[in-house]
């Protein structure tokens, strides 16, 4: 299943501007994907470092947190 990736409003505006060259559009899309991947990696590393009481506050079990933290960054 494919999920839509959030793209910032500024990037979306640049990508829809017709005068932007194709290589620039490709570079913007690539930058957006890499930024999304980096955010996922940071979030999953932080999730893996949470204490059990912090996971409980977030409504997660240690098993759920471990499953999410073990996913690779390109998986949504």
Instruction: Give pLDDT, residue 2.
Output: 46
Tens of pLDDT, residues 26-50: 999 999 999 999 999 999 999 999 9
pLDDT reading at 1 higher than 50: no
14 within domain boundaries: no
Instruction: Give the count of domains, the chain.
Output: 1
DSSP letters, 6-48, are P--HHHHHHHH-TTS-HHHHHHHHHHHHHHHHHHHHHHHHHHH
Query: Considering the domain boundaries, does residue 58 fall inside one?
Result: yes
What pLDDT sits at residue 16? 66
Q: Which structural domain, as residue segments, surrounds residue 45?
A: 39-76
Q: Read off the tokens for 22.
A: 């194709």
Q: In which region does residue 69 sit, left (phi positive, over 0), alpha (psi from -120 to 50) or beta (all else)?
A: alpha
Model pLDDT for residues 2-26, shown as the tens digit of each residue: 455 666 777 666 666 667 899 999 9
Tokens coding 52: 């059990």
pLDDT score of 52 more than 90: yes
């Amino acid at each position: 299943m494919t999920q839509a990736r959030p793209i910032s409003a500024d990037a979306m505006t640049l990508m829809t501007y017709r005068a932007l060259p194709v290589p620039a559009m490709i570079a913007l899309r690539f930058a957006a994907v890499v930024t999304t991947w980096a955010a996922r990696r940071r979030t999953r590393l932080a999730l893996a470092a949470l204490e059990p009481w912090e996971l409980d506050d977030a409504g997660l079990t240690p098993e759920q947190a471990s499953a999410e933290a073990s996913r690779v960054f390109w998986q949504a």
